[in-house]
Amino acid sequence: MFLLATLFSCEKNESYDVLPYATVNITLNLNLPQYQKLQIPTEWVYLEKGVNRGLQGIIIQSTGLTPPYKAYEAACPNNDCTSPMVFDGSLKMKCSCDKSEYSIIDGSPQTSGNSHFAREYKVTRLNATTIIITNN
């Protein structure tokens, strides 16, 4: 019985993420002009898609809280858009094709009927001016 319980308890719940896997591994120097905004709480930066930058790019926000940074995949969580989500600096990321919205705080769906969360990436702060974004 214990073995069966262990097997089922380790089963991964994939109901909240339907996006295909994409490697994310980026180191950002916040002193570079294109990333300096991230040193200001509530500011954000969009990294266009490219090598190690996810499926449609990455949206990064300086929260001014703990954790100090949030990073999300810009691909629409329902995997039904060919264009990235848009973040206008409010509390929501928006899919252009179906107008669905997702919280920048936790990635949760804000549109009725949606169950998939925005994919969040891990942000590690190495020092005052360097962060690493990964999907590990």
> Is the residue at 24 inside a domain?
no
The alpha carbon of 44 is separated from its chain's Cα centroid by a whole number of angstroms, namely 12
pLDDT at 88 over 80: yes
Tens digit of each residue's pLDDT (9 = 90 or more) over 43-61: 999 999 999 999 999 999 9
Which residue stretches of the chain are H helix? 2-9
* Total number of domains in the chain: 1
At 129, which CATH number?
Answer: 2.102.10.10
Q: 125 lies in which domain range?
A: 31-134
Q: Is 1 a residue whose pLDDT tops 70? A: no
- Report yes or no: 100 and 114 within 8 Å, Cβ to Cβ: yes
Burial zone of 50 (CB within 10 Å; 0-12 exposed, 13-18 middle, 19+ buried): exposed
Tell me the whole-structure pTM to 2 decimals.
0.85
6 domain-assigned? no
How far apart (Å, rounded) are the C-alpha atoms in residues 41 and 38? 7
pLDDT tens-place string over residues 9-24: 333 334 467 899 999 9
